[in-house]
């Protein structure tokens, strides 16, 4: 076990691995699990995993040890109830002929000799695949004792996230659509996951892209599960909603999850870091508060990988689409460094819903695509640069006859956080390429306020900068510094028009 890994066993158990089903909502599932586990870890006051008295095998984490111990005792206390389990009298491999259940009873008892042509599903008694009776209130059920005190509802996120005003829903999405376009300005708590609050009723909505390759199951095994904890094949069409919209109602106190204090993009290879630097940055965020949101190009090999034979995924062939998950930790297996990934394809996928994904080579873009971290508390180190940009500008002038006596430019600049701002305005450019060799101009200083306008900026006197009688471009460079080691620069070109009718400048 890597002591750097921040898993808190209680939080990982309580926020059970979910199954997105056929809905392309991996982004919403990943964000919800990230927010939930990070918030749970913070509230419980335990950020780093506690070492077990007996060290687990190399590469195995506490939650995997717990799952392994549970799976070793999965057999029910009572014998299987075969009274409701029988062989199909109508089925055969080809729909007719003698390759039916009676054939397998005689030729292949237990169905171990031949490839599974469907006999394991249709000849349950003959193949000894009758599902074990599972009680809703036993450890045989992965949802037993699972609760969602800290996990937001995937329905809430997926139905309220939007791109260009269109619901992201089951059609894929990203953190920008969830946070920038909705959550950061939300004036209500998030809905909580769970049947008594807002369950994930979108799981059976079909969509394109990368979705759970595992579907269905012996429905009798899930008979006592809550409706939306069952596989889609075991949920009647009459129970499935056919319309979706962002909830208008406010959640009750019992069904509320607090909105994160912030959500940031984690700087990675796509922002200019080396792969090694990106890995360290991702590890720092995981160690600080818990799992982070990651995305990657998903190959056919990843979707159908043999995790038992090859415990670490090291790459595939054909790209099927994009996928979002959470990275919960890291380790090394047989000399191969890996990320520990928690998926949204159910607890029966790979290693109890988790897998090992090769680390440090930007495999399928995992260290260079969309990576994000939510902040479960206001007490965090802010590593983000201030973002200050030009939001509007206006001109004003005075004249006497055809003589221009005054000409000024007033800028409106907005910042997302407290910062000092220095604005440079160039003299009139002959070409925008001039900035590559250096240009002259004037500076203005101001103060940026969180999500507000910059104050203290004096207007530029355009008549001193070559503007007034002819149209030309000004280059505006904005440098913002939050005083905490974070700074950023943005630039804009503004076309300054000539004042009509003017022939001279005073």
Phi, psi of 253 (to 5 degrees): -60, -35
Its sign, for the CA torsion 443, 445, 450, 452, is negative
> Which tops the pLDDT comparison, 264 or 211?
264
Contacts of 470 (CB under 8 A, 6+ apart): 428, 498
Task: Give dist(CA 69, CA 51) in Å, integer.
Answer: 17
Mean per-residue pLDDT, 478-488 = 91
pLDDT at residue 218 in the model: 73
E strands, 427-466, are 441-448, 452-453, 460-461
Helix-, strand-, coil-residue percentages of the chain, each rounded to 5: 25, 25, 50
Task: Give dist(CA 178, CA 172) in Å, integer.
Answer: 11
pLDDT at residue 94 in the model: 66
| Rg (alpha carbons) of the chain, rounded to whole number | 30
pLDDT at residue 365 in the model: 96
Average model confidence (pLDDT) for the chain? 85
Mean per-residue pLDDT, 461-490 = 94
For the chain, the farthest-separated pair of C-alpha atoms sits apart, in whole angstroms, at: 109
Q: Which of 20-24, 224-228, 246-250, 329-333 has the lowest mean pLDDT?
A: 224-228
Q: Which of 45-54, 81-90, 420-429 has the lowest mean pLDDT?
A: 45-54
pLDDT at residue 410 in the model: 97
Contacts of 90 (CB under 8 A, 6+ apart): none
Q: Which of 244-253, 277-286, 375-384, 457-466 has the lowest mean pLDDT?
A: 375-384
Q: Which of 77-86, 419-428, 460-469 has the lowest mean pLDDT?
A: 77-86
Q: Residue 322 pLDDT > 70, yes or no?
A: yes
> Which tops the pLDDT comparison, 305 or 83?
305
Q: Which of 36-50, 325-339, 347-361, 390-404 has the lowest mean pLDDT?
A: 36-50
Q: Band of the pLDDT at 72, cuts 50, 70, 90?
A: very low
Q: Band of the pLDDT at 228, cuts 50, 70, 90?
A: confident
Q: Band of the pLDDT at 56, cuts 50, 70, 90?
A: very low
pLDDT at residue 132 in the model: 66
Q: Residue 81 pLDDT > 60, yes or no?
A: no
pLDDT at residue 144 in the model: 62
Residue-wise burial string across 445-472, b where 16 or more C-beta atoms lie within 10 A, e elsewhere: ebebeeeebbeebebbebbebbbbeeeb
Q: Band of the pLDDT at 84, cuts 50, 70, 90?
A: low
Q: Do residues 83 and 38 lie in contact, with contact meaning Cβ atoms separated by under 8 Å?
A: no
- 94-149 confidence digits (pLDDT tens): 666 778 899 889 988 888 888 777 788 888 888 988 866 556 566 666 666 666 78
> Which tops the pLDDT comparison, 237 or 152?
152
Residues in the chain: 506
**H-type helices in 161-312, by residue range?**
175, 275-289, 300-303
Q: Residue 246 pLDDT > 80, yes or no?
A: yes
pLDDT at residue 195 in the model: 82
Q: Residue 415 pLDDT > 80, yes or no?
A: yes
Q: Residue 203 pLDDT > 80, yes or no?
A: yes
- 145-177 confidence digits (pLDDT tens): 666 789 999 999 999 999 888 899 999 999 999
> Which tops the pLDDT comparison, 70 or 101?
101
* E strand or H helix at 200: none
Q: Band of the pLDDT at 73, cuts 50, 70, 90?
A: very low
Q: Band of the pLDDT at 306, cuts 50, 70, 90?
A: very high
Q: Residue 465 pLDDT > 80, yes or no?
A: yes
Q: For the residues of 30-62, what is the DSSP string, one character each?
A: HHHHHHHHHHHHHHTT--SPPPPSSPPPTT--H
Q: pTM value? A: 0.67
pLDDT at residue 134 in the model: 55
Q: Residue 76 pLDDT > 90, yes or no?
A: no
pLDDT at residue 3 in the model: 34
Burial label, 285 (beta-carbon count in 10 A; 0-12, 13-18, 19+):
buried
Question: Domains plus CATH for the chain?
Answer: 9-71+140-375 (3.90.70.10), 86-127 (no CATH), 388-505 (2.60.40)
DSSP-assigned letter for residue 180: I
Q: Band of the pLDDT at 236, cuts 50, 70, 90?
A: confident
- 205-225 confidence digits (pLDDT tens): 888 767 776 655 678 877 778
pLDDT at residue 217 in the model: 62
Q: Do residues 272 and 289 lie in contact, with contact meaning Cβ atoms separated by under 8 Å?
A: no
Task: Give dist(CA 474, CA 425) in Å, integer.
Answer: 6
pLDDT at residue 142 in the model: 63
Using DSSP, state whether 415 is helix, strand or coil.
strand
Using DSSP, state whether 256 is helix, strand or coil.
strand
């Amino acid at each position: 076990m890597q002591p750097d890994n921040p898993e808190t066993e209680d939080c990982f158990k309580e926020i059970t691995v979910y199954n997105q089903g056929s809905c392309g909502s991996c982004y919403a599932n990943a964000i919800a699990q990230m927010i939930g586990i990070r918030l749970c870890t913070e509230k419980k006051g335990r950020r780093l995993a506690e070492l077990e008295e007996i060290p687990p095998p190399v590469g195995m984490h506490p939650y995997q040890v717990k799952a392994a111990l549970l799976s070793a005792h999965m057999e029910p206390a009572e014998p299987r109830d075969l009274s409701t389990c029988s062989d199909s009298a109508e089925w055969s491999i080809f729909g007719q002929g003698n390759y039916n259940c009676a054939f397998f009873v005689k030729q292949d008892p237990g169905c171990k000799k031949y490839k599974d042509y469907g006999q394991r599903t249709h000849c349950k008694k003959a193949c000894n695949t009758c599902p074990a009776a599972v009680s809703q209130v036993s450890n045989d059920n992965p949802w037993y004792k699972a609760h969602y005190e800290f996990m937001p509802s995937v329905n809430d996120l997926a139905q309220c996230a939007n791109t260009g005003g269109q619901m992201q829903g089951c059609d894929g999405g990203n953190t920008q659509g969830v946070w920038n376009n909705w959550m950061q300005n939300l004036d209500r708590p998030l809905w909580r996951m769970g049947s008594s609050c807002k369950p994930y009723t979108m799981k059976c909505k079909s969509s394109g892209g990368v979705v759970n390759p595992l579907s269905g199951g012996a429905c009798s095994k899930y008979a006592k599960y809550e409706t939306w904890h069952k596989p889609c094949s075991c949920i009647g069409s009459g129970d499935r909603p056919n319309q979706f919209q962002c909830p208008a109602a406010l959640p009750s106190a019992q069904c509320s999850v607090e909105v994160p204090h912030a959500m940031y993009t984690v700087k990675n290879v796509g922002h200019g870091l080396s792969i090694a630097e990106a890995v360290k940055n991702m590890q720092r965020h995981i160690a600080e508060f818990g799992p982070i949101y990651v995305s990657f190009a998903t190959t056919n090999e990843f979707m159908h990988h043999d995790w038992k034979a090859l415990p670490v995924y090291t790459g595939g062939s054909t790209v099927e689409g994009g996928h979002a998950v959470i990275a919960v930790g890291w380790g090394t297996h047989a000399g191969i460094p890996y990320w520990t990934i928690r998926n949204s394809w159910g607890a029966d996928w790979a290693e109890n819903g988790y897998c090992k994904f090769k680390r440090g080579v930007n495999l399928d873009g995992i260290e260079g695509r969309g990576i994000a971290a939510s902040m479960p508390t206001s007490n965090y180190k802010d590593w983000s640069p201030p973002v200050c940009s030009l939001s509007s500008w206006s001109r004003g002038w005075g004249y006497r006859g055809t003589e221009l006596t005054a000409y000024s430019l007033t800028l409106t600049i907005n910042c997302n956080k407290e910062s000092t701002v220095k604005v440079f305005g160039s003299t009139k450019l002959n070409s925008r390429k001039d900035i590559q060799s250096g240009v002259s101009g004037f500076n203005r200083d101001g103060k940026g306020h969180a999500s507000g306008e910059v104050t203290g900026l004096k207007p530029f006197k355009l008549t001193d900068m070559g503007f007034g009688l002819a149209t030309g471009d000004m280059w505006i460079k904005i440098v913002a510094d939050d005083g905490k080691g974070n700074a950023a620069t943005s630039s804009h070109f503004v076309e300054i028009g000539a004042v009509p009718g003017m022939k001279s400048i005073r």
